[in-house]
Amino acid sequence: MGAKLFGTDGVRGQANSWPMTADVALRLGAAAGRYFRRDKQEHRVVIGKDTRLSGYMIEYALTAGFTSTGMNVFLLGPVPTPAIGYLTHSLRADVGVMISASHNPASDNGIKLFGPDGYKLSDEAEAGIARLLDEGTRLAAPENIGRAKRIEDARGRYVEYAKTTFPHRRRLEGLRIVLDCANGAAYRTAPEVLWELGAEVIPMGVEPDGFNINLDCGSTKPQAAARRVLETRADLGICLDGDADRVVLIDEQGRIADGDQFMGLIATRWAKEGRLAGNTLVATVMSNLGLERHLETQGITLKRTAVGDRYVVEAMRAGGHNLGGEQSGHIVMTDYATTGDGLIGALQFLAAMIETGERASRLAQVFEPVPQKLINVRFAKGKNPMGSDAVQSAVAAAEKLLGGDGRLLVRPSGTEPMIRVMAEALNPAVLDQVMEAVVGAVRQES
């Protein structure tokens, strides 16, 4: 079981179905607890979650597993994923856990694990935990069973830290901000930070009921927030996802800016200030070709990785880089956080607005994107579209047609049963032709 448990971002699936069952969560907690035991007096784990109903079930099952191996559990309640990275290190815990399926619907859930340094686990650590899952773990003696308690000030600790990442003595007075929290983990944290820094906050997606996380809101559905920006004449719109590790920005004209535009802005600013380590931005193969061309004009290198913020972070740490992210809005700034942080990312954009005096529309459109399309195709259980000869032939023909004037990426999702087809081309007609052929072949085999 263990070898198949971890995906590209921890464990994820439909709640109450394998692997997101109480039984698996209990066993995973016990295996992770045993893996992270250290030779010291006290062993700690911090557990946070987003607002999904199934979070209660997974939280208590994990707690049982961890305490059974002698780990003391600190329950943080609903907090953003980056808060877990920060608090794991701050509270000197051996392991941190975030219960969330990020941008997925409420019917899904997931478990993300963080090491004592606050970073997501490496493949090696996940493999070690998987082995213990298969082998079984030794339980603690009765007198060594761990304790569990709630930490009431966890959100406040993160709020205060997030505020320190904003330039000293700068304020947000005079700015009206539409803030969509996706009815997720940051529904209290993000409004508090922006309001305490002086902004007028127009909140959206701050009434979670266990079922409405990411529902027609947040970074994956920013259209409602864009309309609200125009209706209220706001200066900026900020859309987070369910666990607040992503951000999508909306300028005062209602135009949506993705992670590529954000990274282009910050990379350019940091390079001019001498802050961009190695003069390099780390992004995935999904980032637009227009971003790469823009960076070249600024003398900045774009280093690409596989899709997934963990791979971005691994490449950043290996190369000593301090800025990276994904087109989807994961923005990783290791000067401030160990993982993607939508709120802290938004604060850096706001800092650019304050320091330059420019409106969001001037800052959020850094480069002209090469025409790009992304289509997700779900496939049935037992199917393997990527192994089909028809799909492989369609991909080969499409790549030949694109030549050097575009890119094609066809890959299985690491978190859902779907094939993601992304193509970009200087010629829109060629782009349409490529997508029609490849997506059609994938659908036939799904």
Chain segment 3-25, per-residue pLDDT in tens = 589 987 899 999 999 999 999 99
Closest CA relative to residue 53, chosen from 205, 215, 213:
213
Asked if 45 and 71 count as a contact pair (C-beta separation under 8 A), the reply is: yes
Closest CA relative to residue 320, chosen from 285, 280, 284:
280
Residue 2 has pLDDT above 90, yes or no: no
The per-residue pLDDT for 282 is 98
For 110, the 3-state DSSP assignment is: strand
The per-residue pLDDT for 37 is 83
Alpha-carbon distance of 413 to 417, in angstroms, equals: 7
Q: Which tens digit of pLDDT belongs to each residue from 327-337? A: 999 999 999 99
Q: Which tens digit of pLDDT belongs to each residue from 233-289? A: 999 999 999 999 999 999 999 999 999 999 999 999 999 999 999 999 999 999 999
Alpha-carbon distance of 401 to 396, in angstroms, equals: 9
**Which domains occur in the chain, in start order?**
2-152 (3.40.120.10), 158-256 (3.40.120.10), 259-341 (3.40.120.10), 372-444 (3.30.310.50)
Alpha-carbon distance of 329 to 323, in angstroms, equals: 13
Alpha-carbon distance of 87 to 172, in angstroms, equals: 26
Q: Which tens digit of pLDDT belongs to each residue from 374-427? A: 999 999 988 889 999 999 999 999 999 998 889 999 999 877 789 999 999 999
Alpha-carbon distance of 86 to 117, in angstroms, equals: 9
Catalytic residue among 102, 219, 287, 328: 102
Question: How much is the average pLDDT of 36-59?
Answer: 90
Q: Which residue's entry shows tokens 């003391």? A: 72
Q: Which residues pair with 238 in a beta bridge?
A: 179, 249
287 is catalytic: no
Alpha-carbon distance of 67 to 362, in angstroms, equals: 52
For 34, the 3-state DSSP assignment is: helix
Please name the amino acid found at residue 280. Answer: T
Please name the amino acid found at residue 362. Answer: R
At 38, the pLDDT band (50, 70, 90 cuts) reads low
Residue 198 has pLDDT above 70, yes or no: yes
Which of 73-87, 127-141, 214-228 has the least mean pLDDT?
Answer: 127-141
Residue 356 has pLDDT above 80, yes or no: yes
At 117, the pLDDT band (50, 70, 90 cuts) reads very high
